[in-house]
Amino acid sequence: MRRLREIVLASLGTLLLTMPADAQSYAEPVPLARTAGGTHAPPSIWPGFGPTSTPPNAPAGPAIFPPAPPMIPNGRPGLPEYWEEPLGSYGRYDYYAGAGWLGLKRQENDKRPLFVRDPVTSDNNSPPPANSPVIATTRWPDTDLYSGVRWVFGVAGNDAALEFAGFVLPDQTQTATLTLPGRISGLFVNAPSGFNHLFDNADRVRFSFRHQLYSLEGNYHWASAPSGAGFDYLIGFRYLDLQERYAFTVEDNSIQVGPDPAETATYSTRTHNHLIGASLGWGARTPIFDWLGVSWFLRGSWFANRADIDVELLRHDGLVGTRGSSSSWRFSHMYEINLALELYLGDLCRIKGGYNLLWLLDVAEAANQVSYDLSNPRGQRSFGGDIFYHGPSVEVEFNF
């Protein structure tokens, strides 16, 4: 027993003597640091937090601190994962605003025949033969590239933003003229009194198509950065306003006899779509160099649409042949794709140039309301129109 006690006491003494030496053999732990093997969190895509200076007095030596996070223009690295507390100066962009140019080419109107070439050059009070060739449709005139402006303003947080944006394609009109003295006959029936034979064997028809499109939206964005790419998610509301007017003016004897208001009439249809609803979107922004990146975005919008339709047949001496209006609530929807290159000018400015695709479905189009029955004051009441737009855009954005 005594021998066992001596062994235990000797062991305790040896342990007590060696503890201070062991404690002094280990370096003090470095606070707020991990090893260089720690993973680096990829940056978020939203403007908001970007390093503006290198952390001062970073401890030297291998395997203690990786290099400071790279400058990501217009990005928000947040706090590096290998620092548990912020070191150095980080600038915050609370606001961003941008403006630019938008061009959208509208698809052509549906091709519905309106006028044929009559083999007879004078009024004979009889319709043209059934095999008369079509010389004008509702595709006259051709649509154009509509130019407008777009804008955006947002308030950003760490990885989220509240944003307001919109675009305006102002009222623009395309025209076309068909001249064939005495040979232009329309495919219309039931002309009101005072309009009899005015659409037969006419000399000239002038077509016009007016278009305007407005968008106003408010969105909440939030961002993540898995796999090194910054992903952007969107939920919001949107108001879209689409107005169109399709018209053609028939001059019965303006060339063969001379202009006469009593022998000139305009048939016109007008549509106004008021669309309000919700949007969901998903996209990404990926830097390629410190001065260049790419981005893409997909979005869908679903609307309640109040569609108004106006129809009028008016002789130029003031005689009204047909006039009527109607309204209806309908479901409409829209889908968009945007692809862009982004040029970073420092960390406060970005120039974005891209291409846009937009499909607007189940709306009232003006050209589709034309009725072959000239006595019908409500037109065709067509609400199933589908419009495809595409075109370029350029935008300059500043972060504050």
Rg (CA), the chain: 35
Binned at pLDDT 50, 70 and 90, residue 94 comes out as: confident
Check: CB of residue 246 under 8 Å from CB of residue 268: yes
- Sign of the CA dihedral running 325, 327, 333, 335: positive
CA distances in angstroms from 386 to 27, 361, 377, listed in the order given: 72, 4, 24
CA pair distance 105, 296, nearest whole angstrom: 20
Q: Is the predicted pLDDT of residue 88 greater than 70, yes or no?
A: no
Q: What is the pLDDT of residues 2-11, one digit of tens each?
A: 454 454 444 5
Residue of higher predicted confidence among 347 and 325: 325
Which residues lie across from 133 on neighbouring strands? Answer: none
Check: CB of residue 64 under 8 Å from CB of residue 57: no
Give the residue from 103, 99, 300 showing the smallest Cα distance to 213. Answer: 103
Give residue 220's identity as a one-letter amino acid code. Y
Extract the tokens encoding 151: 């804008």
Q: What is the pLDDT of residues 228-281, one digit of tens each?
A: 456 889 999 999 999 999 999 999 988 888 889 999 999 999 999 999 999 999
Which residues lie across from 243 on neighbouring strands? Answer: 212, 272
- Mean pLDDT estimate for the chain: 81
**What's the pLDDT at 225?**
58
CA pair distance 60, 90, nearest whole angstrom: 21
Binned at pLDDT 50, 70 and 90, residue 121 comes out as: confident
The answer, as to whether pTM is greater than 0.85, is no
Which residues, in sequence order, are CB contacts of 222 under 8 Å at separation 6+? 159, 160, 161, 232, 233
**What's the pLDDT at 103?**
97
Q: Is the predicted pLDDT of residue 147 greater than 50, yes or no?
A: yes
Give residue 326's identity as a one-letter amino acid code. S
For residue 69, whether the previous peptide bond is cis, meaning omega lies within 30 degrees of 0, is no
**What's the pLDDT at 289?**
87
Where do we find the tokens 């009109």? 173
Extract the tokens encoding 175: 């025209």
**What's the pLDDT at 79?**
32
CA distances in angstroms from 5 to 8, 11, 14, 16, 112, listed in the order given: 5, 10, 14, 17, 112
Residue of higher predicted confidence among 27 and 303: 303
Residue of higher predicted confidence among 317 and 68: 317
**3-state percent breakdown (helix, strand, coil) of the chain, nearest 5:** 10, 55, 35
10 Å Cβ neighbour count for 275?
25
**What's the pLDDT at 152?**
96
Q: What is the pLDDT of residues 28-80, one digit of tens each?
A: 443 333 333 334 343 444 443 333 334 444 444 444 444 544 444 444 333 33
Is 157 strand, coil or helix? coil
**What's the pLDDT at 223?**
81
Q: Is the predicted pLDDT of residue 197 greater than 60, yes or no?
A: yes
Q: Is the predicted pLDDT of residue 396 greater than 90, yes or no?
A: yes
Q: What is the pLDDT of residues 154-191, one digit of tens each?
A: 998 777 899 999 999 999 999 999 999 999 999 999 99
**What's the pLDDT at 90?**
37
CA 31 to chain centre: 49
Which residues lie across from 377 on neighbouring strands? Answer: none
Where do we find the tokens 């449709």? 137
First to last CA, the chain: 81
Per-domain residue ranges of the chain: 95-399
**What's the pLDDT at 92?**
53
**What's the pLDDT at 385?**
94
CA pair distance 247, 337, nearest whole angstrom: 32
**What's the pLDDT at 389?**
98
Binned at pLDDT 50, 70 and 90, residue 373 comes out as: very high
DSSP state of 192: P
Considering the domain 95-399 in this protein, what is its CATH number? 2.40.128
Q: Is the predicted pLDDT of residue 20 greater than 50, yes or no?
A: no
CA pair distance 310, 293, nearest whole angstrom: 47
Extract the tokens encoding 210: 């007016």
